[in-house]
Structure 1
Amino acid sequence: MFYYVAKTFAVAPAVNALFRPWVKGLDNIPEDGPAILASNHLSFSDSVFMPVKVPRPVRFLAKKDYFVKRGATGWVTRKFFDITGQIPMDRSGGRASQDSLDAGEKALREGALLGIYPEGTRSPDGRLYRGKLGVARLALRTQVPVIPVAMIGTDKVQPIGKKVPSIRRVGLIIGEPLTFEAYHDNAEDRFAQRAVTDEIMYQIMRLSGQEYVDRYAADVKRRLEAGES
């Protein structure tokens, strides 16, 4: 109820008036039942624009940092994420990351529309980076369709490091659902997971028109922060 009220009467009117987001392929999202929305990730605002244009509630695997911020702003952020059903994603690897994926799997088995950013973090330069295997694990274990999504222009609205967004138009392209029946019997095989992930990233690249880089975005960010090329 809170999700619909906040979206309908507060967030959506403001976003639609200021940014006039356009969308293509909305009919590719099923009216009910579980599915994964796998999107490129250019800006923090991606997680605002996508839910505004998608009729159904979207539950995101959101960076764990958003759930542990301090101060008044942190408290508001935590409460908003909790109330709207967002799922904290621990990116440290190992058991913690697996627990986060398990929570995403549970949401899918309950019929949710789950949003995930396969790159694992925002692109540092507007290019599309190698996808992590979590999206494939979820897709193969639950056997739900994966819907590729391309956010367009959101990096110009709110690039990394910018807190106040610029007012300009953005877009959203939603591709046809992908199913991976050929891999369902090999859900835990890393080669199968890599093949599925790469196909998802290819479809995102095709929709977004981004240059693809076969490296993890997080590794590139670390190198840039260390002053390496």
Structure 2
Amino acid sequence: MSLYRSRHVAARFIPVLFRSFVRIYVRPRVEGIEHIPREGAFIIAANHTSHADTAVIYTVLPREVRSRFVAAAAQDYFFKGGAMQFLSRILFNAIPVARDRRGGQDPLRHAARALREGYALLLFPEGTRSTTGEIGPFRSGIGRLIAEFPGTPVIPTYVGGTLRVMPKGKIIPRPYRVTVRFGEPLYLKAHPKLRATWQTAADEVREAIVQLSGMALAHSVDASSEQAD
């Protein structure tokens, strides 16, 4: 289980300080944590509006899951060297995912290997951050992983409020309370050689997250009504 875990000495203490900062700064409200598997490989599939999404999801996970957590990150953005790459590796055990097939290599090779090794893999199937908060179309890559690793649970995850914390184009986060809602595990099927089934599976994951976003909104409205009363 050490394949993708950062071995840098800073990884022993920086993540602890970082999680404390996140908890204080955005006060994450968590629902459905009981749906997170405590062992074995699984995929956390989440909507994506901000670089803060990864930080918030990582922070609220149980300790035994954080110890085998990896976050898929855009290779062209996070893996160009420098502070961005260093911090993403130290904090989240980030692994590169290419957003295209330039170079002829499989863009999901590290994600597939992480699942094979028993990691909890965070994916943002939209492939880019939403600037409006709306959940965009999902790419078929998650469907391919579902086809390649049958029986692997997919945890649909809705993150709300991070667009206010750190919208696309901003680098300084603002304090704002966020919500993370984990849905029940999905056990979907797709055929390894039929790409259309990959997209179908991806669309099913997206629909589950859309449903979670609506439930989160309904809870917010209910809470506001209670305060008004």
> Match for 1:197 among 192, 197, 202?
202
How many pairs does the alignment contain?
A: 200
Superimposed CA distance per residue, residues 25-59 of structure 1 (whole angstroms, 9 cap, x where no aligned partner): 01111001000000000101101111000121221
Gaps of at least 5 residues in structure 1 are: 70-74, 211-229
Does residue 1:103 correspond to 2:115, yes or no?
no
Confirm or deny: 8 A CA contact 2:101 2:107 kept in the other structure.
no
> Match for 2:183 among 159, 175, 189?
175
Write the letter of the residue equivalent to 1:66: F
TM-score calculated relative to the size of structure 2: 0.81
Question: Which is worse superposed, 15-24 or 84-93?
Answer: 84-93
Percent identity (aligned):
32
For residues 117-196 of structure 1, the aligned pairs below 5 Å read 117-143=124-150, 144-181=152-189, 183=190, 186-196=191-201
For residues 84-103 of structure 1, the aligned pairs below 5 Å read 84-93=92-101, 99-103=106-110
Write the letter of the residue equivalent to 1:61: A
Q: Over the residues paired in the alignment, what is the CA RMSD in angstroms?
A: 1.9
> Match for 1:68 among 48, 55, 80?
80
Quick one: distance in 1 between partners of 2:206 and 2:194? Answer: 18
Secondary structure of 2:45's counterpart equals strand
Deviation at 1:161, TM superposition (A): 1.0
Structure 2 equivalent of residue 34 of structure 1: 41
Superimposed CA distance per residue, residues 122-175 of structure 1 (whole angstroms, 9 cap, x where no aligned partner): 012111111000011112201211110000111011111111111110010000
Structure 2 equivalent of residue 116 of structure 1: 123
Does residue 1:6 correspond to 2:11, yes or no?
no
Write the letter of the residue equivalent to 1:172: V
Structure 2 equivalent of residue 52 of structure 1: 59
Secondary structure of 2:22's counterpart equals helix
Does residue 1:81 correspond to 2:93, yes or no?
no
Secondary structure of 2:205's counterpart equals helix
Quick one: distance in 1 between partners of 2:21 and 2:93? Answer: 22
Quick one: distance in 2 between partners of 1:30 and 1:200? Answer: 17
Confirm or deny: 8 A CA contact 2:125 2:142 kept in the other structure.
yes
Secondary structure of 1:140's counterpart equals helix
Quick one: distance in 2 between partners of 1:91 and 1:7? Answer: 27
